[in-house]
Amino acid sequence: MPFKPPEVVKCPKCNQNVYAAEEVPAAGKKWHKMCFKCGLCKKMLEAMTMAEHEGQVYCKQCYARKFGPKGYGFGQGAGTLGMDTGEHLGNKSGSEMTNKPNYAPPPGAGLHE
């Protein structure tokens, strides 16, 4: 039986060889420990504290901010309404957000006789 060298896996972040002593298996791939960090905040990740989107890994907080639901009831704390559009995270907003109501007042409202 001929000798077969072990298969060398490439890190998805740096595209360098990942050897067994330095690998971190997550998201179906093997990463270098130092390459396995959030794509936005650069915080070091663990398999239980990460979320994956289109080949990129994120910490759960950054993933929720970038890809999670937006609007009323989805703020960071109880009862918050954030006006953050997420542009610093790379999100493109199709419409400007404002705190002004988008309805017309009923006829005669605001008029005093």
Q: Does some domain include residue 30?
A: yes
Residue 55: the pLDDT is 80
User: Does the residue 87 lie in any domain?
Assistant: no
Give me the count of residues in the chain. 113
Asked whether residue 93 is assigned to any structural domain, the reply reads no
Q: How far is CA 100 from the centre of its chain?
A: 29
DSSP assignment letter at 112? -
Give, in order, the Cα–Cα distances in Å from 56 to each of 43, 69, 71, 78.
14, 19, 25, 29
Model confidence pLDDT, tens digit, residues 14-45: 999 988 888 888 888 888 888 889 988 989 98
pTM of the predicted protein model: 0.54
* CATH code: domain of residue 37: 2.10.110.10
The single-letter DSSP state of residue 32 is E
pLDDT of residue 20: 83
89 phi, psi to nearest 5 deg: -100, 5
The 8-class DSSP code of residue 2 comes to: -
pLDDT at 80 over 60: no
Q: Is residue 49 part of a domain?
A: yes
Provide the pLDDT confidence category of residue 13 given band limits of 50, 70 and 90: confident
pLDDT at 83 exceeding the cut of 70? no
pLDDT at residue 11 is higher than 80: yes
Q: Which domain holds residue 49?
A: 9-67
Quote the number of domains for the chain.
1
Is the per-residue pLDDT at 87 higher than 60?
Answer: yes
